[in-house]
């Protein structure tokens, strides 16, 4: 099951892993660069996702991780 990402309000951190939902919760409205950096760190360090320059965010299985449309990060996908 691939990791999903969901934008939520009122998160105390930029991103929090929710193992019950297999989802990384991200704080809605976080600056895109900060969000991408945080998610990239979680995915590669905590889950062993492949760190492929230019490939954006990937799941531990190598599939691209889709960002929620609510998160204003579309302009930052080109790492
Ligand atoms: Zn996956």
Between 54 and 70, the more confident residue is 54
State in Å: Cα 64 to ligand 1 middle: 8
CB 28 within 8 A of CB 48: no
Average pLDDT, the chain: 85
Which residues lie below 8 Å from residue 56, measured CB to CB, with a gap of 6+? 64, 65, 77, 78, 79
How remote is the CA of residue 49 from the centroid of ligand 1, in Å? 9
The answer, yes or no, to whether residue 75 has pLDDT greater than 60, is no
Encode pLDDT of 30-58 as tens digits.
888 899 999 999 999 999 999 888 878 99
Q: How far is the CA of 43 from the centre of ligand 1 (A)?
A: 11
50 or 79, greater pLDDT: 50
Q: Is 41 left (phi over 0), alpha (psi -120 to 50) or beta?
A: alpha
CA of 10 to the centre of ligand 1 (A): 27
Distance 13 CA to ligand 1 centre (A): 24
Count, residues in the chain: 79
- Supply the pTM of this predicted model: 0.80
């Amino acid at each position: 099951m691939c990791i999903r990402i969901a934008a939520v309000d009122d998160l105390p951190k930029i991103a929090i892993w929710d193992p019950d939902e297999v989802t990384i919760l991200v704080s809605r409205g976080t600056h895109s660069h900060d969000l991408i950096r945080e998610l990239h760190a979680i995915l590669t360090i905590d889950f062993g996702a492949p760190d492929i320059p230019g490939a954006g965010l990937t799941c531990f299985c190598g599939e691209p991780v889709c960002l929620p449309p609510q998160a204003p990060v579309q302009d930052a996908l080109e790492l």
